[in-house]
C-alpha cells in the first residue's frame, strides 16, 4: 500500500512538472515583450537560488564547500553550469521568434541527445526501443514544421533563427544532464541545483538589466514572478518525483509538456484573444506534436512494453554489424 501511495505521489509530482513547464514559455513570452532574455533568465535564476537556498538552509542541507576543492568536481560543476545557463538563454531567445508550443516541441530533442551522450560518454546500454522512439520524434518534428520546412532549410529568416536557437537549447542541455548525472553520485539533486542556480545568477549579472523590472506592467510582473517560481517548483517537483517513482515513468510523463503548452495556448487564446495568439498549426502539425511526444515517451518506457526481446535484438544487430 505504501509503495502504491508513493507511486501516486510521484505521478502527481511529475504531472506538476509537466504542467508548470508547459505554462512557462507562455508566461515568458509576455515578459520578453519588454525584457531582454538575459535579464529574464537572471531573474529566474536569482529567485530560484534564493528560494531553494533558503529552504535547504532551514533544513541544514546546504552543500559542503569541500566539493569545490577537488578539480574533477569543479570541472563537472562548470560544465553543468554552462549547460544549464546556455539552455535557459537559448530557450528564452528562441521564444522571441517562435511560438511557445514550437519551442517546447523542439525541446524534446534534449532526451534524445541525452540518450546518445549516455551511450558514448557514460557507457550506458542503448535499447532498440530508444532508437525507435528517437526515429518517431524526428518524424514528428518534420510533421510539426511541415508548413515551414522550405523556409527553415533554404532561408535564414527570424523563424529559422528561432528554430536554430531552440536546437542549441536542447543540445547544451545535454551537457548539463550528463554532468548532473555524475554529480548525483556525491550530492542530492536539490543541492546540485542550488549551486547551479547561484553560479548562473552570478555569471549572468554583468549582462542583466535589473532596472527593466520597473517597465513591466502588473500582468507582466506577475508573469515574471511565475517564471521564477516555475524554475523552483518545476525542477523541485521533478526531483521529488524521481525519489518516489521510477525515473523512466517520470520521464514519460514529463514528455507531455508540449501538449500542455499547446492546450494552454489554445485555451488562453479563446479566453483573451487580445493577449494570446492561437498556434499557427495545420492538422499535420497537431499530429506531429502528438508523434513527437509519443516518440519521447516510447524512448523512456518502451522497454517496459517490449521487455527482453528489445535488448536481445539490439545486441544481435550490433554483433552482425561487427562481423
What region does 98 belong to: left with phi over 0, alpha with psi -120 to 50, or beta?
beta
> What is the distance between the alpha carbons of residues 13 and 283, in angstroms, rounded to a whole number?
31
For residue 276, what pLDDT is reported?
Answer: 81
For residue 314, being part of any structural domain is answered with yes
CA distances from 101 to 25, 144, 259, 279, 289 (A): 8, 10, 8, 7, 9
For residue 148, being part of any structural domain is answered with yes
For residue 101, being part of any structural domain is answered with yes
Q: Return the C-alpha cell found at 243.
A: 525519489
The 10s digit of each residue's pLDDT in 238-281 is: 877 877 776 667 777 888 889 999 999 989 989 888 778 888 78
For residue 246, being part of any structural domain is answered with no
Look up the domain containing 102 and give its range: 66-84+97-185+282-322
For residue 33, being part of any structural domain is answered with no
For residue 17, being part of any structural domain is answered with no
For residue 110, being part of any structural domain is answered with yes
For residue 149, what pLDDT is reported?
Answer: 78
19 with 264: CB under 8 angstroms? Answer: no
pTM for the model: 0.84
For residue 302, what pLDDT is reported?
Answer: 66
For residue 82, what pLDDT is reported?
Answer: 94
> What is the distance between the alpha carbons of residues 78 and 46, in angstroms, rounded to a whole number?
18
* DSSP H or E segment with residue 99: none
pLDDT along the chain (323 residues), means of 10: 69 89 92 94 94 90 76 88 94 91 88 76 73 85 85 82 93 86 81 91 94 93 93 83 71 84 90 82 89 82 58 43 42
Domain count, the chain: 1
For residue 142, being part of any structural domain is answered with yes
Amino acid at each position: 500500500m505504501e509503495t502504491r501511495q508513493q507511486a501516486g505521489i510521484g505521478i502527481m509530482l511529475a504531472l506538476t512538472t509537466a504542467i508548470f513547464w508547459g505554462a512557462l514559455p507562455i508566461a515568458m513570452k509576455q515578459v520578453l515583450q519588454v525584457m531582454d532574455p538575459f535579464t529574464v533568465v537572471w531573474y529566474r535564476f536569482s529567485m530560484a537560488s534564493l528560494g531553494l537556498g533558503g529552504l535547504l538552509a532551514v533544513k541544514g542541507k546546504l552543500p559542503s564547500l569541500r566539493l569545490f576543492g577537488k578539480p574533477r568536481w569543479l570541472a563537472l560543476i562548470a560544465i553543468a553550469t554552462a549547460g544549464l545557463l546556455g539552455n535557459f538563454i537559448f530557450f528564452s531567445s528562441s521564444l522571441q521568434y517562435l511560438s511557445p508550443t514550437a519551442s517546447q516541441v523542439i525541446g524534446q530533442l534534449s532526451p534524445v541527445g541525452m540518450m546518445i551522450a549516455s551511450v558514448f560518454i557514460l557507457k550506458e546500454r542503448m535499447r532498440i526501443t530508444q532508437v525507435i522512439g528517437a526515429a518517431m520524434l524526428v518524424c514528428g518534428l518534420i510533421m510539426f514544421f511541415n508548413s515551414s520546412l522550405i523556409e527553415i532549410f533554404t532561408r535564414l529568416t527570424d523563424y529559422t533563427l528561432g528554430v536554430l536557437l531552440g536546437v542549441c537549447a536542447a543540445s547544451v542541455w545535454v551537457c548539463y544532464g550528463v554532468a548532473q548525472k555524475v554529480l548525483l553520485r556525491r550530492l542530492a539533486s536539490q543541492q546540485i541545483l542550488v549551486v547551479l542556480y547561484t553560479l548562473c545568477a552570478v555569471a549572468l549579472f554583468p549582462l542583466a538589466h535589473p532596472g527593466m523590472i520597473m517597465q513591466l506592467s502588473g500582468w507582466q510582473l506577475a508573469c515574471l514572478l511565475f517564471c521564477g517560481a516555475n524554475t523552483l517548483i518545476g525542477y523541485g517537483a521533478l526531483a521529488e518525483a524521481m525519489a518516489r517513482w521510477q525515473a523512466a515513468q517520470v520521464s514519460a510523463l514529463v514528455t507531455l509538456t508540449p501538449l500542455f503548452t499547446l492546450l494552454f495556448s489554445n485555451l488562453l487564446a479563446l479566453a483573451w484573444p487580445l493577449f494570446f495568439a492561437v498556434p499557427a498549426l495545420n492538422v499535420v502539425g497537431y499530429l506531429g506534436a502528438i508523434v513527437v511526444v509519443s516518440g519521447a515517451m516510447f524512448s523512456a518506457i518502451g522497454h517496459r512494453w517490449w521487455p527482453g526481446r528489445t535488448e536481445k535484438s539490439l545486441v544481435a544487430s550490433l554483433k552482425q554489424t561487427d562481423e
